[in-house]
Structure 1
Amino acid sequence: MTPAQIATMMDMCEVEVTATAYIEAVQGDLDQALRWAVSDRLAIEAKLSEALRAVSRGYVRGELPAAAA
């Protein structure tokens, strides 16, 4: 990368940097870049949903200490 390219990237927001990375990864094929981005987003949402289902909502196994009972 040239210094000018680095400066341009420094001025870009996270969305622009991410979009540029997808477009470069598919050699400029915008349709494929969009498909990859949407696919990645759906995969992340599925993982987040799975993680949220795994989070305890306060149920604890075991007994209370004798002092608390």
Structure 2
Amino acid sequence: QGARVQGVTAGGPAESAGLKADDVIVAVNGERVDDAVSLITDIRQYAPGDEITLTLESGQEIKVTLGKR
């Protein structure tokens, strides 16, 4: 279960929020993430500027403000 982060953009919203390569995201705003496809589907429901909460496999929660695609 979950989606492994392959990398983050230097200076981007994910890096600024503390997300790192090899983190495993298991939920977006409490909705379970099964794989990379479900992660993308979940995130696309939101608009740039929206703040979402990513739950990591470790149990850590990270708040990220979405940037432009």
Task: Kindly indicate which of the two structures has a greater share of residues assigned to helix.
Answer: 1
Task: Kindly indicate which of the two structures has a greater share of residues assigned to strand.
Answer: 2
**Of the two structures, which has the highest relative contact order with CA contacts closer than 8 Å and spacing of 6 or more?**
2
